[in-house]
Amino acid sequence: MPQYNKADLERRMAGAVESLKGDLSGLRTGRANIQLLDPVTVEVYGAHMPLNQVATVSAPEPRMLSVQVWDKSNVGPCDKAIRSAGLGLNPIVDGQTLRLPIPDLTEERRKELAKLASKYAEGARVAVRNVRRDGMDSLKTDEKKGEISEDERKRLETEVQKLTDSTIADIDAAAASKEKEILGQ
């Protein structure tokens, strides 16, 4: 039975684009948004967990996020994770609650957020290239097993490359749109 599965490759590449769009939606453009903290992972109980699995995140005011940590011993790790996430947020610890004032978007801050958007896009491109590599490897394996011919492998490799190029174009478009939004152009 052939290992190559075009539908699986399409699903995985589309997943990379959706993940990128989720990450980009967390980059704020002026207002507090709980999705801003989605990429934050906290090291607790010997594992890395998303912040929303150890605390409740809310936006009580337009320029303030509130993180209510469930376990008192996790306040420090949550504070550290938010500070080191590269989001430019400095939590104020108030018991088991972390208050995150959202700073105004200065030109410098806008450039930082644009860089972060580029970093997310590059991560998505890498994920898509890894999916392409997996597809190419499965095609080579199928050819070695005699399940497909060399001509069929080359045709399918071209198909995989076209899918990869199309997906990377989607990633570039999403990243460019978000960077334009962030920079206020």
Tens of pLDDT, residues 77-123: 999 998 888 777 889 898 889 998 887 777 887 888 888 889 999 99
Amino acid at the residue 134:
D
Q: Whole-angstrom Cα distance, residue 123 to residue 145?
A: 33
- The residue among 1 and 83 whose pLDDT is bigger is 83
- Provide the token pair at 46: 């010997």
pTM above 0.75, yes or no: no
DSSP string across 30-99: SS--GGGGTT-EEEETTEEEEGGGTEEEEEEETTEEEEEESSGGGHHHHHHHHHHTTS----EEETTEEE
Contact 36, 87 (CB under 8 A): yes
CATH match for 34-101 among 3.40.50.1820, 3.30.1360.40, 3.30.479.10, 3.30.565.10: 3.30.1360.40
Tens of pLDDT, residues 120-170: 999 999 999 999 999 999 999 988 988 888 899 999 999 999 999 999 999
Superfamily of domain 6-27+106-183: Ribosome-recycling factor (1.10.132.20)
Q: Whole-angstrom Cα distance, residue 136 to residue 144?
A: 12
Question: 3-state class of 8 per DSSP?
Answer: helix
Q: What is the pLDDT of residue 29?
A: 60
Question: 3-state class of 78 per DSSP?
Answer: helix
* Residue-range domain boundaries for the chain: 6-27+106-183, 34-101
Helices (H), the chain: 6-25, 75-84, 107-144, 150-183
Q: What is the pLDDT of residue 2?
A: 66
Domains 6-27+106-183 and 34-101 share a fold: no
Q: Does residue 179 surpass a pLDDT of 70?
A: yes
Tell the burial category of 65 from Cβ atoms under 10 Å away from its Cβ (0-12, 13-18, 19+).
buried
